[in-house]
Chains A and B, each alone.
Chain A
Amino acid sequence: MNDDRKKAEDSEALPALPKYLSEALDLKLISQGAEALVYFSKAHPYLPATLSSDVIHNSPISPAGYILKFRPPKPYRHALLDAQLTKHRTLSEVRSLYKMMLAGVHVPMFVAVDPRQGLIWMENIDGPSLKKWIWGQEEEIEKKVSDEDSRLTMREQTVKPTLVAVGHEISKLHFMDMVHGDLTTSNLVLRRKDDGSLEPVIIDFGLSQQSTLPEDKAVDLYVLERAFISTHPMHAEEYITWLLEGYLAGFGQGKKTAKFKAREIMKKLEAVRLRGRKRSMVG
């Protein structure tokens, strides 16, 4: 997170937030993500400031502050296309966040939205992204022990349970016929719970859509697989196996009809992988 923050502050010509926000609130830029600028704020967007600190303190919800996600205009693309994409993505993100929250999937709680300006308020998830967490674990394990057998044992103790839990969380999403559209290890955050354990939370729903097709879910998993292979190449296969283990065990909590559905998704995943390898690349 610190690295991101530094980088975000380094870049000079960041597009500006609407003035009514930047002047009224104490906002801290924490990330320049793939398409959005992400700010942290302690204040609730529309509760009075005097009340909010109190409410926040005594409320069981959102003690970790708020996130303001801003999709700025992208000057590189045509203004019409830009306006249309910003509005569409912002709306699909909040719709999905809301639906998934009701369904009990771990996502940031949605607070407020301004689709034309591309602004979403949501709960801040306190914890590292899965990407940074895995990098950290790998480094630590490498330092601690030197032979591959002991390293594997350690990965099985720490990384495996987390990835099984991540797989389980994604299965909940898919079981609700929600396809994320951009599953990467940056878009999975691990929330540090009071007892010190980590709980996966899925973020960044701008490319999400509702779909009943097994194919779409398979592509979702394939995109995540590829993210593992490119970002965590040393143990990607192992990680994917663990993640799919959690996915299959979690899908529909093992109900019979769910098992059938899950099997179909796995079959499609096989086909999508094959297609990827076979894609001809001329010239």
Chain B
Amino acid sequence: MPSRIQVPEPERETIAIGLEGSANKLGVGIIRHFPRPNKNSHRPPAQILSNIRHTYITPPGEGFLPRDTAKHHRSYVVKLVQQALKQSGIPIDDIDCVCFTQGPGMGAPLQSVAIAARTISLMWDKPLVGVNHCVGHIEMGREITGATNPVVLYVSGGNTQVIAYSHQRYRIFGETLDIAVGNCLDRFARTLHIPNDPSPGYNIEQLARKGKHYVELPYTVKGMDVSMSGILAFIDGLANDIFGGKAKYADDGSEITREDLCFSLQETIFAMLVEITERAMAHVGSQQVLIVGGVGCNERLQEMMGIMARDRGGAVYATDERFCIDNGIMIAHAGLLAYETGYRTSLEDSVCTQRFRTDEVFLAWRND
């Protein structure tokens, strides 16, 4: 078990470096926290000293495999750490701790980055702090947007969760019963042979903007949970029909295009996500929504969530691609929050876990 030591609240600035590599993005970031001016005030906003990312991009029609992704991370991590240090302009001595993603994620890429983190920690003689990737997203989202106690929709390639804070943990209210929303979009992009550069989701969003006809798809909400696999199978079937020469027609007689399919897929699955988020808001009595994770960059999702939140008298908070797509700075930030409350990860405990549930993390830094 990782250990927590008794430490007083820091009265000086603290700095952390964070390494992220749980999927196909490798990120390194350096962050600075300032002490609270007095006991009754909030911590001043954190300062981002550097935030660098390198993405492993595969050819159209192909997903990223763990082994190749790990190889990508291994070959870029030293360069990224050097760049991040240089950009931050701070000497190594000033860094307080080395933070890394301990899970959840793909085994091999996680491990390759953990090895880099352990090496740096030993070389520089700085303590290690293992970070839950999802908690990293949530804490960074709160830091950037100023949302205090939002319902969080966490949507990425591997995760789809509706989360709310209670009793020092981020509790999962709803989630996908099968595949994640990002995975659903990525796989449909592969069916359509849409490029993976800069990301399949981004390219689907661009196509969807040109879609005009709404094609009816299955809609599967179960309480606060959703299911996506049936929708994907259905729309894959439609796409294969259309590109196999069996055209489909809309009510006005025009042919259904791939733009229409992208549009309909987004409209359907985003409506499901907004609906379960609204359910959670009603259940916990919250008016704020925070969207985090890679799919959170999608402007249509942000727009739909915004309309829902407005109708409830609340507001939506979202970040741009620097923070919602996997990055090192969020790992540095969440790690530093834990570090300041005395959390350390010893070398023996620094093993990565592919499954690491959001609600396993005890949030010593929150007591509201």
Q: Tell me the A residues contacting B by CB distance below 8 Å.
A: 3-4, 7, 10-15, 32-35, 74-78, 80-81, 84-85, 131, 181-184, 186, 207, 219, 223, 226-227, 229-231, 233-234, 277-283
Contacts and interface: CB of A to CB of B under 8 A. Distances in A.
Interface stretch (B34-42, B86-94, B161-169, B340-348): B161-169
Interface string B269-309: 00100110011001111010000001000000001110110
A74 B159 contact: no
A219 B223 CA distance: 10
Interface in B122-181: 133-134, 156-159, 164, 166-167, 169, 171-173, 175, 180
B224 interface: yes
B51 interface: no
A79 B310 CA distance: 18
Nearest to B171: A230
Contacts of B156: 283
Closest 10 CB pairs of A and B: A11-B313, A283-B23, A282-B158, A283-B158, A281-B104, A76-B307, A230-B171, A34-B279, A77-B271, A76-B304
Contacts, number: 141
Contact of B282 (A186, A277, A278, A281): A186
A76 B271 contact: yes
Which of B159, B279, B356 has the most CB atoms of chain A within a 10 A radius of its CB? B279
Given A76-B307, A282-B354, A283-B156, A233 B214 contact: no
B44 to A, nearest CB: 31
Contacts of B267: 77-78, 81
Which of B104, B283, B285, B355 has the most CB atoms of chain A within a 10 A radius of its CB? B283
Contact of B222 (A84, A219, A229, A234): A219
B182 interface: yes
A223 B311 contact: no
B271 A183 contact: no
Contact of B312 (A4, A32, A231, A234): A32
B319 interface: no
B326 interface: yes
B96 interface: no
Contacts of A227: 173, 223-224, 283
A283 B106 contact: yes
Contacts of B169: 233
B214 A78 contact: yes
A281 B311 contact: no
A234 B279 CA distance: 22
B214 A207 contact: no
Contacts of A181: 222-223
A234 B283 contact: no
A240 to B, nearest CB: 15
Given A32-B282, A81-B267, A75 B307 contact: yes
25 contacts: A4-B285, A34-B283, A35-B278, A74-B308, A76-B303, A76-B311, A77-B267, A77-B304, A78-B214, A184-B223, A186-B283, A223-B223, A223-B224, A230-B171, A231-B284, A233-B166, A279-B355, A280-B354, A281-B159, A282-B159, A282-B354, A283-B22, A283-B23, A283-B24, A283-B182
